[in-house]
Amino acid sequence: MAALFTLRAAREDDRRYLDSYTYREGMDYLPSLERVTVAVNADDEPVGFIRISLGRAGVARVNPIVVHESWRGYGVGRALIDEAQDAYGELRLVSRGSSKAFYDALGFEPCAWDLIESDVIEDCDGCPLFDECEPCPMRRADRS
């Protein structure tokens, strides 16, 4: 049986999909498509994506990962995370409370806020939705 989805580097013609996915999640538009990987369906349409940003020490941050609602629960998020870990090594991120169970399932562990670079923390500091969102700094050193 053919795979449900495959992964590839994002291209400019993916933008309209990615912009709609970030918009629906209330996230910022992606500043560039550098280190953005998309999961695509059989028609080569993105059904989810991950963007990795590199901190000053070169540690990779997931910022962000989104899977279209109709594709959730099919292993797309896990595949995007695992491929990023293979490419970049340790992954760190700030999880929304609503997605913490996903990261728990993938073997991420809560970590200290000071392991997360300040520009990410500034996104949370002073945010009116902080209490509702319950952001949690997390890391995964090795693929589990």
Ligand X SMILES: CC(C)(COP(=O)(O)OP(=O)(O)OC[C@H]1O[C@@H](n2cnc3c(N)ncnc32)[C@H](O)[C@@H]1OP(=O)(O)O)[C@@H](O)C(=O)NCCC(=O)NCCS
Residues lying near ligand X in the complex (CB under 6 A) are found at 25, 64-67, 72-78, 95-96, 98-99, 101-102, 105
Asked if 117 contacts 61 with a C-beta cutoff of 8 angstroms, the reply is yes
Q: Which is nearer to ligand X, 9 or 97 (CB)?
A: 97
* Smallest distance from ligand X to CB 26, Å: 9
- Residues belonging to the chain: 144
The Cβ of residue 113 has, within 10 Å, a number of other Cβ atoms equal to 13
* Smallest distance from ligand X to CB 66, Å: 4
Tokens of 13: 């013609």
Rg (CA), the chain: 15
Q: Is the dihedral of CA 13, 33, 64, 7 positive or negative?
A: positive
* Smallest distance from ligand X to CB 126, Å: 18
Q: Which is nearer to ligand X, 75 or 89 (CB)?
A: 75
Q: Which residue is nearest to ligand X (CB)?
A: 77
